[in-house]
C-alpha cells in the first residue's frame, strides 16, 4: 500500500518539477559521493531505453502521418501548410546562424572515439545517400534515422493509396501505443536525469553547469528571436498589416498554457477556442490546428539544429555552408515528425547527426543532455510551436478574407480600421 501511495504521489507531481528536483539531487550526490558509480547507471538505463524506442517511434509517426493525410483541401490549407513548413525551415536557418556566431561545446563520454569525421561535403552526401537506401528493417535495428525517414515516407504514401478505414485505425492505435510507451519512459526521466547529472558532476565537477547555461541561453535567445521577430515578419509579409496585435494575442492565449503543458497536442483545445474568438472558419481550423501540432515545429527545428551543431563542434568536425544546409533540411524534416510528447524533438537529434558519421551512442548522449536542459528548453519550444499553429492558421484565413474583400476583425487589427474601410 505504501508503494502505491508513493507511486501515486510521484505520478501526480508535475514532470518539470520532478526533473528539476532530480537535477539538484544528482548534482549534490555527484559532489558528495562521486565514488558511488551505481547511481550513474540510472542514466545509462534511461539513455538505452530511449535508444531502443526512438527508431520505432519515428517510423510509426511518419507512416501514420502520411497515410492519414488529408486531401481535397482548398487554398487555405495549401497556404497554411506552406507557412508551417517554411517557418520551420527558416527556424533551422536562424539556428544555424546562431550556432555559427556562438558555437557551443558539450561534455560527451568517449566522444573522440565515437565518430569518424567526414573529410568534405561529398563524403557527407555519400553518407546521406547510403543511409537513405539501407534495408528498412536494418535501419530500425541500427537506429539509422535517414533510412527510417525515407522508408517510412514511402510506406506511408503507399498505404494512403491502398488503405481502408480499418488499416488507418490500426495505424492510429499503433501510434498511440508506441507514444504511450514513450510517455512511460519519459515518466521515469527524473531517475535517468539524476543518474546523468551525477555522472556529469562527479566526472567534470560543478563547472558542468557553465556549459549547460550557455547552451540554454543560445536556445532561448534563438526561440525568442523566432517568435518575436521572424514569425511577425512572415505574418506581416503575407497580410501586409502590422502583425503584432495578432501575434501578441496568440502568444498571450496559447503560448502561456503551452509553456506549462509542454505538449502541442494537449494545447489543441486551447488553440481551437482561440481560433473561435478570432472568428475563423471551424471547418478550416479543426483540421489546420491538429495538422500544426504535427508538422509546425519551429521550436523543435531550432533544438535539433543547435544541439546537432553543438555536437559537431564538440567533435571538431568542420561544417561548410553546404553541410549546414543539409542540417537545416534534416532538422526541418525531422521536426515535422516530432512526437507530441514532452521532449519529443530530442529524439530526432540522431537524424541530423547521421550525415556527419556521428554514432547513435554519441547522439543519444546529446539527447540526454537535452533532457537535462529540457525544463526550460522544452517548455519554450512547445510555446513557440503551439502559438504559431494559431498565428499561421489565422494568417492563412485572413489572407483568404482579403482576396474576397472581407475586412479583417477589428478587435485584432484595430489600427487598420480606416485603411480597411478605404479598401472597401
Question: What's the CATH number where 177 sits?
Answer: 1.10.3860
- The domain of 256 spans 2-415
> Is 340 among the domain residues?
yes
421: in domain: no
* Distance of alpha carbon 372 from alpha carbon 73, whole angstroms: 41
Instruction: Sort residue 109 into left (φ over 0), alpha (ψ -120 to 50) or beta.
Output: beta
| pLDDT higher at 345 or 137 | 137
Domain assignment of residue 423, yes or no: no
Per-residue pLDDT band at 65 (split at 50, 70, 90): low
What's the pLDDT score for residue 416?
Answer: 44
- What is the chain's mean pLDDT, rounded? 77
Joined together, the cell numbers standing for residue 218 give 543560445
Whether the model clears a pTM of 0.85, i.e. scores above it, the answer is no
- Whether the CB-CB separation of 365 and 115 falls below 8 Å is answered with no
Output the CA angle 58-129-57, nearest 5 degrees: 5
Task: Provide mean pLDDT across the span 60-88.
Answer: 75
For residue 113, is it within any domain?
yes
Q: Helix or strand or coil: residue 117?
A: coil
Range in 108-122, 148-162, 203-217, 397-411 with the lowest mean pLDDT: 108-122
More confident residue, 162 or 209: 162
Domain membership flag for residue 302:
yes
Give the whole-angstrom CA distance, residue 176 versus residue 63: 13
Lowest-pLDDT range, 15-19, 81-85, 155-159, 227-231? Answer: 15-19
Q: What pLDDT is attached to residue 18?
A: 81
Is pLDDT above 70 for 70? no
Q: Which helix (H) or strand (E) holds 419?
A: helix 417-423
Question: What does the pLDDT look like over 140-188, one tens digit per residue?
Answer: 887 776 687 788 878 888 888 887 778 888 888 887 887 788 778 777 8
Total domain count for the chain? 1
Alpha-carbon distance of 86 to 80, in angstroms, equals 10
424 is a domain residue: no
Residue 347 CB neighbour total at 10 angstroms: 29
- Mean pLDDT of all residues in 299-309: 88
Average confidence (pLDDT) over 354-364: 77
Using pLDDT thresholds of 50, 70 and 90, give the confidence band for residue 231. very high
Is 50 inside any structural domain?
Answer: yes
Burial 77-92 (b: 16+ CB within 10 A, else e): bebbbebbbebbbbbb
Amino acid at each position: 500500500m505504501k508503494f502505491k501511495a508513493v507511486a501515486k504521489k510521484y505520478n501526480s507531481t508535475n514532470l518539470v518539477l520532478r526533473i528539476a528536483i532530480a537535477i539538484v539531487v544528482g548534482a549534490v550526490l555527484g559532489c558528495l559521493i562521486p565514488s558511488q558509480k551505481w547511481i550513474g547507471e540510472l542514466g545509462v538505463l534511461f539513455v538505452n531505453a530511449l535508444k531502443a524506442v526512438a527508431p520505432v517511434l519515428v517510423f510509426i509517426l511518419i507512416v501514420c502521418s502520411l497515410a492519414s493525410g488529408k486531401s481535397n483541401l482548398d487554398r487555405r490549407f495549401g497556404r497554411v501548410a506552406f507557412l508551417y513548413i517554411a517557418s520551420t525551415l527558416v527556424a533551422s536557418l536562424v539556428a544555424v546562424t546562431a550556432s555559427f556566431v556562438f558555437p557551443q561545446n558539450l561534455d560527451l563520454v568517449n566522444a573522440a572515439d565515437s565518430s569518424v569525421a567526414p573529410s568534405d561535403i561529398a563524403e557527407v552526401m555519400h553518407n546521406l545517400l547510403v543511409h537513405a537506401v539501407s534495408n528498412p528493417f536494418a535501419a530500425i535495428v541500427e537506429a539509422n534515422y535517414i533510412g527510417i525517414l525515407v522508408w517510412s515516407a514511402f510506406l506511408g504514401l503507399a498505404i494512403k493509396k491502398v488503405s481502408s478505414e480499418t488499416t488507418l485505425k490500426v495505424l492510429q492505435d499503433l501510434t498511440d501505443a508506441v507514444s504511450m510507451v514513450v510517455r512511460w519512459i519519459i515518466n521515469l526521466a527524473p531517475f535517468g536525469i539524476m543518474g546523468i547529472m551525477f555522472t556529469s558532476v562527479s566526472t567534470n565537477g560543478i563547472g558542468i553547469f557553465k556549459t549547460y547555461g550557455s547552451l540554454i541561453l543560445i536556445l532561448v535567445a534563438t526561440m525568442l528571436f523566432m517568435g518575436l521577430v521572424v514569425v511577425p515578419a512572415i505574418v506581416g509579409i503575407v497580410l501586409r498589416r502590422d502583425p503584432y496585435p495578432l501575434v501578441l494575442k496568440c502568444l498571450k492565449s496559447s503560448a502561456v498554457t503551452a509553456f506549462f503543458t509542454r505538449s502541442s497536442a494537449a494545447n489543441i483545445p486551447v488553440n481551437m477556442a482561440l481560433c473561435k474568438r478570432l472568428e475563423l472558419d471551424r471547418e478550416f481550423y479543426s483540421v489546420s490546428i491538429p495538422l500544426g501540432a504535427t508538422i509546425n515545429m519551429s521550436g523543435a527545428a531550432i533544438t535539433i539544429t543547435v544541439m546537432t551543431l553543438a555536437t559537431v563542434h564538440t567533435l571538431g568536425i568542420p561544417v561548410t555552408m553546404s553541410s549546414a544546409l543539409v542540417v537545416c533540411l534534416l532538422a526541418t524534416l525531422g521536426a515535422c515528425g516530432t512526437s507530441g510528447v514532452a521532449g519529443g524533438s530530442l529524439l530526432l537529434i540522431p537524424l541530423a547527426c547521421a550525415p556527419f558519421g556521428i554514432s547513435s551512442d554519441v547522439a543519444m548522449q546529446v539527447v540526454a543532455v537535452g533532457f537535462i536542459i529540457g525544463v526550460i528548453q522544452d517548455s519554450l519550444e512547445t510555446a513557440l510551436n503551439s502559438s504559431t499553429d494559431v498565428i499561421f492558421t489565422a494568417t492563412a484565413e485572413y489572407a483568404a478574407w482579403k482576396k474576397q474583400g472581407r475586412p479583417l476583425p477589428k478587435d485584432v487589427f484595430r489600427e487598420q480600421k480606416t485603411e480597411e474601410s478605404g479598401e472597401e
